């Protein structure tokens, strides 16, 4: 090596050293999703807002959150509660002002919390200026969306394809002004942007740059699999999608196999391009790394490509929905183990695992897997290697709230009917956050809330749970504290089902204590020989975290070869 190369290398090293410690902040981070409409209302209108979030950031600190991603806060007619963005560069007045957002960022910085925004690339609102101009045929914008004049059969005009919207009915809506159909994978008020137009790609990259320059640390990217549709043929036509024979309702999304409207290869490449923007901005702005979290309900092999392909980097955090999508109240320990292994065993070398147990679209943990398993699930989430993602309220054990058809507001349900809405509605998981036992759970000072507050708020709320040693909240905090230990941060993992009822997860690191999470999924008492499951345990193990199902207390000892588990008990043990 020449002297000059050596010198350059040393300089580079010296330059990068100060940031080195923080470089990997996200690799063992705790992410927390805030649904802004339902977190905290500061102005009494019954809808959460940015000032409310800013007021409560210290709570996020209290529960050890590293970064929080916010569902959309941008200007929107709220047809899909913000997932229909009318102005990608502004804050909706319902949530506050740009100044409120700047204050939120400033407060987050003081607390060393990172703010992540929701980026909705697939579509805009039909009230977005881009769409209005596109519909008017303005040269610059005419191909910003996917337009088609349809086909004429027996003299009657029909949509170009049979494609069905995620929210029911045709993906094509006729536009009188433009005299053409436009494509929308979701609501008619959410026209799909046309990613085969390079101007759209550039426009959306600029949106990323704008918010990164403001100081956000990255994005959760919405509905990624839907971004591209298969390319049109030389006549500009698309192909029909094949049927799913087991579904008979022709309006239902699952009536078709979405081979032309989801998971197109171009989508993966677009994620790589978004990552390049992130890297470009890391260079421009310096400081801690920015991250991408991608929302894709897709096959595992596709998800793994989101991480990168060896030549290109992609999303650091392709949301792992294995547990969220595939566990139910009857799943046994083999199923849990299989799903955990699915991610761990298929992840490309050098990448980091992430675990998502809830979000604003899916039934809550307690309602999905049983309220008596809430602590166990949080034990699993927080002792697995890599990144944990918690949806607001899961740390308290909030449950789905039943809401009648008359009171339902989620468009996914409202577009269906009284017989079907319960399967589709997402309102039950979006009810106001439960802060205390005052009226409306301390969420608002106003007279009403946009969705009802859960009946159980006097029992399940932050204030009360703070005072109960083995509340869901306090167990969550204990688990979170463990994550600062080197073993939990960097240790290896072994996952095993011990028969159908017991799941065991061991974390180990050289010269450090090992930690073993043991979960009894069932209602029988279980006696487990952990020596038969894991190598290199000490003869005795100590209790590190117990739950209210436990007979034992923290710091009690047990023999590794005979660990007694109460019905539905979850524990964390350590070698001694
Ligand atoms: C994502 C969001 C969901 C939204 C949809 C359309 O799946 O999580 O809430 O309705 O995209 O933007
Ligand atoms: Mg408000």
Q: Tens digits of per-residue pLDDT, 304-315?
A: 999 999 999 999
Instruction: Say yes or no: CB of residue 83 within 6 Å of ligand 1.
Output: yes
CA distance 111 to 58: 8
Tokens of 423: 């399967």
Ligand nearest to the CA of 37: 2
**Which atom of ligand 1 approaches the CA of 123 most closely?**
12
Q: Is the CB of 361 under 6 A from ligand 1?
A: yes
The response to whether residue 186 sits with its C-beta less than 6 Å from ligand 1 reads yes
What is the percent of the chain where pLDDT is above 90? 96
Q: Kindly list the catalytic residues.
A: 222, 295
Pocket test for ligand 1, best of 84, 171, 220, 361 (most atoms within 8 A of CB): 361
Nearest residue (by CA) to ligand 1, atom 11, is 223
- Please indicate whether residue 80, judged by its CB atom, sits closer than 6 Å to ligand 1: yes
Domain(s) labelled CATH 3.90.400.10 in the chain stretch across 123-194+230-258
Mean pLDDT on 20-43: 88
Q: Dihedrals φ, ψ of 70, to 5°? A: -105, 130
Please tell us whether the domain made up of 30-120+320-475 is placed in CATH 3.20.20.80: yes
513 pLDDT higher than 80: yes
Q: Does the structure show a pLDDT above 50 at 463?
A: yes
Q: Whose CA is nearest to atom 12 of ligand 1?
A: 83
Alpha-carbon gap, residue 444 to 407, rounded angstroms = 19
CB 352 within 8 A of CB 315: no
- Residue 120 Cβ inside 6 Å of ligand 1? The answer reads yes
Please identify, by atom number, the ligand 1 atom nearest to the C-alpha of residue 297: 7
Tell me the β-bridge partners of 545: 572
Query: pLDDT value at position 24?
Result: 87
443 CB near ligand 1 (under 6 Å): no
Question: What band does 324 get if pLDDT is binned at 50, 70 and 90?
Answer: very high
Q: Check if 343 has its Cβ closer than 6 Å to any atom of ligand 1.
A: no
Bridge partners, residue 313, by sequence: 308
Domain 123-194+230-258, what fold?
Answer: Oligo-1,6-glucosidase; domain 2 (3.90.400)
pLDDT given at position 5: 52
Chain position carrying tokens 């230990």: 485
Residue 83 C-alpha to ligand 1 middle, in angstroms? 6
- Ligand 1 centre from 81 Cα, in Å? 9
User: For residues 142, 146, 151 and 155, what is the CA-based torsion angle, rounded to 10 degrees?
Assistant: -50
Q: What is the pLDDT of residue 461?
A: 98
Mean local confidence (pLDDT), 245-273: 97
Residue that has been written with the tokens 């992609």 in this structure = 314
CA distance 370 to 231: 44
Q: How far is the CA of 520 from the centre of ligand 1 (A)?
A: 34
Global pTM?
0.95
Q: What is the mean pLDDT of residues 441-467?
A: 98
* Residue 73: DSSP 8-state: -
For the chain, what is the mean pLDDT? 96
Over residues 328-346, the pLDDT tens digits come to: 999 999 999 999 999 999 9
What is the rounded average pLDDT of the residues 70-80? 98
Q: Is the pLDDT of residue 285 over 70?
A: yes
Task: Give the model confidence (pLDDT) of 375-399 as tens digits.
Answer: 999 999 999 999 999 999 999 999 9
Residue range(s) occupied by CATH 3.20.20.80 in the chain: 30-120+320-475
Residue 20 scores a pLDDT above 60: no
Superfamily the domain 492-575 falls into:
Golgi alpha-mannosidase II (2.60.40.1180)
**Does 237 have pLDDT greater than 60?**
yes
């Amino acid at each position: 090596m020449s002297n000059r190369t050596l010198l350059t290398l040393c300089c580079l090293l010296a330059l990068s050293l100060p940031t080195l410690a923080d470089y990997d902040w996200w690799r063992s981070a705790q992410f927390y999703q805030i649904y802004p409409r339902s977190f905290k209302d500061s102005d009494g209108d019954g809808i959460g807002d940015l000032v409310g979030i800013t007021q409560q950031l210290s709570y996020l600190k209290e529960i050890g959150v590293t970064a929080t991603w916010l569902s959309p806060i941008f200007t929107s007619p709220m047809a899909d509660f913000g997932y229909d963005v009318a102005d990608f560069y502004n804050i909706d007045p319902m949530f506050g002002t740009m100044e409120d957002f700047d204050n939120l960022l400033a407060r987050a910085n003081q607390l060393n919390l990172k703010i992540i925004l929701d980026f909705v690339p697939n579509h805009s609102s039909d009230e977005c200026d881009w769409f209005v101009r596109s519909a008017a045929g303005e040269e610059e914008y005419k191909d910003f969306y996917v337009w088609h004049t349809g086909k004429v059969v027996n003299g009657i005009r029909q949509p170009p394809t049979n494609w069905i919207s995620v929210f029911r009915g045709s993906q094509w809506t006729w536009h009188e002004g433009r005299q053409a159909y436009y494509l929308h994978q979701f609501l008619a008020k959410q026209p799909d942007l046309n990613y085969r137009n390079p101007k759209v790609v550039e426009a959306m990259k600029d949106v990323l740059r704008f918010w990164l320059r403001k100081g956000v640390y990255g994005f959760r990217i919405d509905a990624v699999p839907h971004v591209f549709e298969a390319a049109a043929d030389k006549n500009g036509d698309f192909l029909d999608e094949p049927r799913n024979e087991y579904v008979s309702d022709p309006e239902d999304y699952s009536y078709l196999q979405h081979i032309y409207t989801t998971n197109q290869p171009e989508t993966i490449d677009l994620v790589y391009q978004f990552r390049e923007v992130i890297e470009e901005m890391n260079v421009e702005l310096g400081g801690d790394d920015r991250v991408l979290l991608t929302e894709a309900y897709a096959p595992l092999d596709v998800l793994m490509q989101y991480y990168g392909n060896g030549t290109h980097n992609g999303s650091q955090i392709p949301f792992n929905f294995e547990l969220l999508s595939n566990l139910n109240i009857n799943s046994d320990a083999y199923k849990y183990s299989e799903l955990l292994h699915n991610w761990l065993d298929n992840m490309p070398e050098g990448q980091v695992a992430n675990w998502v147990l809830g979000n604003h679209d899916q039934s809550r943990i307690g309602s999905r897997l049983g309220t008596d398993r809430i602590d166990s699930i949080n034990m699993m989430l927080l002792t697995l290697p890599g990144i944990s993602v918690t949806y607001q309220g899961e740390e308290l054990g909030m449950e789905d709230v039943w809401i009648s058809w008359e009171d339902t507001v989620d468009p996914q349900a409202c577009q269906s009917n009284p017989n079907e809405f319960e399967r589709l509605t997402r309102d039950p998981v979006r009810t106001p956050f439960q802060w205390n036992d005052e009226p409306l759970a301390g969420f608002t000072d106003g007279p009403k809330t946009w969705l009802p507050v859960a009946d159980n708020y006097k029992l399940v709320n932050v204030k009360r749970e703070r005072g109960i040693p083995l509340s869901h909240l306090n167990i969550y905090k204990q688990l979170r504290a463990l994550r600062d230990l080197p073993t939990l941060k960097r240790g290896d993992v072994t996952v095993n089902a011990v028969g159908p009822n017991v799941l065991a997860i061991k974390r180990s690191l050289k010269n450090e204590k090992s930690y073993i999470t043991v979960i009894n999924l069932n209602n029988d008492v279980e006696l487990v020989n952990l020596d038969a499951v894991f190598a290199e345990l000490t003869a005795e193990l100590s209790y590190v975290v117990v739950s209210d199902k436990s007979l034992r207390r923290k710091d009690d000892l047990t023999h590794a070869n005979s660990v007694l588990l109460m019905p539905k008990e979850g524990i964390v043990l350590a070698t001694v």
